[in-house]
Each structure stands twice: as C-alpha cells, then as structure tokens.
Structure 1
Amino acid sequence: MAISMRSSVTARPSMRVQAPSRVAAPIRSRNVAMRAAVDKEKVLEDVRGIISQQLGTEVAKVTPESKFVDLGADSLDTVEIMMALEEKFDLQLDEEGAEKISTVQEAADMIAKQISSK
C-alpha cells in the first residue's frame, strides 16, 4: 500500500487565516470604552445580591451602609464574598485592599474603581 504525500497535500482546501491579535484588538478597545463608564448603581445592586446570596439573607437587609460583621459574616464568609465578587466582575481584588473593606458600599466602590481602571 503506497501513500502519496503529494496527493494528500493538494487535496486540502486552501484557507485564509487572520492573525488573532488583529481580530481581538477592536473587541478589547470596545470593552475598555464600555468599562470606563461604570454604572455604580448596577455594581452596588450586584454586590448586594452576591452578599445576600452568600450569607443567606434578604437583599433588603443588605444596605450600602451594612457592615459584613453586622450581617453575620465571619472571616471565611468575607473571603467567599470576595471570591464571588471577583468571579462576577471578572477581576482580581488585591488582598490588602480587600482586608480594608468593611461595608457593602466600600466593596462596591472598590469594584467600580477597578472596573473603570481596566
């Protein structure tokens, strides 16, 4: 049984391939422009929802002024909240900044700041 390399090469259809960097660049720049205009109310709403879900409490009880401790969060709950926020907003919160957060509004402000600086 003889296999010809020539026939297998010529049998392939030709394709045009565009470099990935050229395809992704317009998408990236559009996302940056969209992120620059952060809807702080939407961020706060999402943060409140995540905290409510993580702590098993009603959203109405999670006000911007609420402290995590007052909502019943211990240190493990706080870490889980921060991880859920990172996942939701597709960002990485630095540990030093996250340790300083004690209220829902502080968490929302830090996230909004990071989103707008992307």
Structure 2
Amino acid sequence: MYDAAKQVSRVVHESLETHSVHRVPGLRAQLIDAAGSIAANTSEGASRGSASKFLNHLRIALGSANETRTHLQRAKDEAKLPMKLYFACDAKALVTAKMLASLIRRIEEDEARRDNDNQA
C-alpha cells in the first residue's frame, strides 16, 4: 500500500517536471502536496497504536488520492497537461484509491467482527 502511494507521488512529480502547469496558479503545488499526502498519511497511520487512528489516517490518505485525481483533471483541462501524462498519473492515483478503500473496508469489517465477538 505504501509503495503504491509513493509511486503516485513520484509519477505526479516527474510528470509535472516535464510539463509546465504554471498557467493555473498554485496548481502544481497543490498536486504535489496532495499526491505526497497519500504516502505520508498511510505511513503515519501505520505507526499509530490503534485501529481507529490508523483508519483515520487511511481515510485522510483516500481523500488525498481523490484530491490528486481532481487536480489532475484540472491540470488536463485548464493547464493542458498532455493526455498521456494525465492518464499515467490518474491510473496510479485511482489504483491507490481503490487499494485504500479496500483496506479501510477490511479493517472496519475486522473491527466490527471483533466487537461482535467481545459482546457475545
């Protein structure tokens, strides 16, 4: 999971180095920050001592993945990010978002099952 998140950050950063998105003020910085936040929150959450804190960070990471995708669409539409670069970045962000959503769902199910077992 963390490796996928790092790949999103890397591919976004590399794509923006080869193409200027300066036509839209602040967009490059927003994209780099959002993409980097996916890995940062995944990593930080993994070091927390409870499932609820880990889930909170995973949800923030998922939000950052979705934010990255939104900024990529803006870069494509408003800053003329080439389609090839857009699709390369968006595909990584989408796969990572799906992985995060799946992990969140799995942890929530495990926690619910644990709660049910403790109540029985």
Shorter chain as normaliser: what TM range?
under 0.3
- Relative to the length of structure 2, the TM-score reads 0.27
- Relative to the length of structure 1, the TM-score reads 0.27
